[in-house]
Amino acid sequence: MGPTASGKTGVAVDLVQHLPVELISVDSALVFRDMDIGTAKPDAATLARAPHHLIDIISPTEAYSAAAFRKDALRLMADITARGKIPLLVGGTMLYFKALREGLSALPQADAEVRAELDAEIAQYGIEHLHKRLSQVDVETAARLHATDTQRIQRAMEVYLLSGRPMSELIKLQDQEPLPYRILPVALIPSDRAGLHQRIDTRFQQMLKDGLVDELRGLREEYPLQREMTSMRCVGYRQAWEYMEGEIDAAGLLEKGIAATRQLAKRQLTWLRSTENVGVDCLSADYDLQVRNLIETELRSHL
């Protein structure tokens, strides 16, 4: 586990060369086909050396949920262990890790009519208005969501409108089916936030040089995309869409893209620091070796 730009892919590729593991991606953006630059997807050469499950599995017009991830991950983990190898889950989508480890809550399925009503409300009054409304019916969920987190605020309000019960209450009733595996949670956590920010800045600048805007332009030509789709809410693509629509200039694209990526990293780090795991400083010179040694020690202890 680790925040964006912490070097997870590099460590995973190293581990495949030294340990009997198969990789399962835990990333809600890497599931989309043809979205390569903005998701920092491993290139073809990297994937040839270290294949990843759950990459490029759906179209950018489709949606992928934590429930779908848990089902797919459990199936893959069973297949991998049956082959005598060890599943290594790698990524930064903390909701997916949580769903896998703790089970899923009995939340109602999305409803197109309710979604449309909420979309109209957001368009008219803004997401901050809906966040205030959510705080009146689900204080706990509203408190943990940022006032501009459109996707999650809308979903929480949708759950309340469909069930008549707060999402926070339903989550506490979730299925606690135990995970039939022994887990070694390892997190790449920077000792210096400024160092991670520099990595983020450099990587987003490189994404722009590599053609993020042109990639989005090609996606919009190939697929019937809408900006509210899950794929287009991904950091980088959301800001590139605004740029293409003339809502921001090139400087604004760079500034907003970096700021959004930093905010994503901040949320990921908050989750990691509240979760029991083994932390490794991703800014140290040999953090990949440290992770490998941790896992090798764990394996030897169970041989």
CATH number (domain holding residue 27): 3.40.50.300
Together in a domain, 194 and 236: yes
Together in a domain, 85 and 227: yes
1 in Cβ contact with 272 (< 8 Å): yes
Domain C-terminal end among 147, 171, 195: 171
Together in a domain, 75 and 219: yes
Together in a domain, 23 and 166: no
Domain C-terminal end among 171, 199, 222: 171
Domain membership flag for residue 241 = yes
Range of the domain at 155: 112-171
Mean pLDDT by 10 residues, the chain (303 residues): 97 96 98 98 96 98 90 97 97 94 80 90 94 96 93 94 90 73 95 97 98 98 94 97 98 98 96 93 96 92 75
Together in a domain, 56 and 194: yes
Domain membership flag for residue 198 = yes
Together in a domain, 96 and 244: yes
Together in a domain, 194 and 286: yes
Together in a domain, 95 and 133: no
Domain membership flag for residue 125 = yes
| Domains of the chain: total | 2
Domain membership flag for residue 32 = yes
Together in a domain, 139 and 228: no
13 in Cβ contact with 45 (< 8 Å): no
Together in a domain, 207 and 94: yes
For the entire predicted model, the pTM comes to: 0.81
Give the CATH number of the domain where residue 150 resides. Answer: 1.10.20.140
Distance between CA 124 and CA 66 in Å, rounded?
30
SS (H, E, C) the chain: CCCCCCCHHHHHHHHHHHCCEEEEEECCCCCECCCCCCCCCCCHHHHHHCCEECCCCECCCCCCCHHHHHHHHHHHHHHHHHCCCEEEEEECCHHHHHHHHHCCCCCCCCCHHHHHHHHHHHHHHCHHHHHHHHHHHCHHHHHHCCCCCHHHHHHHHHHHHHHCCCHHHHHCCCCCCCCCCCCCCEEECCCCHHHHHHHHHHHHHHHHHHCHHHHHHHHHHHCCCCCCCCHHHCCCHHHHHHHHCCCCCHHHHHHHHHHHHHHHHHHHHHHHHCCCCEEECCCCCCHHHHHHHHHHHHHHHCC
Together in a domain, 209 and 240: yes
Please give the backbone phi and psi of residue 24, each rounded to the nearest 5 degrees, phi first.
Answer: -120, 120
Domain membership flag for residue 2 = no
256 in Cβ contact with 242 (< 8 Å): yes
Q: Which two tokens stand for residue 183?
A: 């887990």
Together in a domain, 55 and 120: no
Domain membership flag for residue 176 = no
Distance between CA 215 and CA 10 in Å, rounded?
24
Q: Please tell me the predicted confidence (pLDDT) of residue 106.
A: 72
Domain membership flag for residue 3 = no
Domain membership flag for residue 177 = no
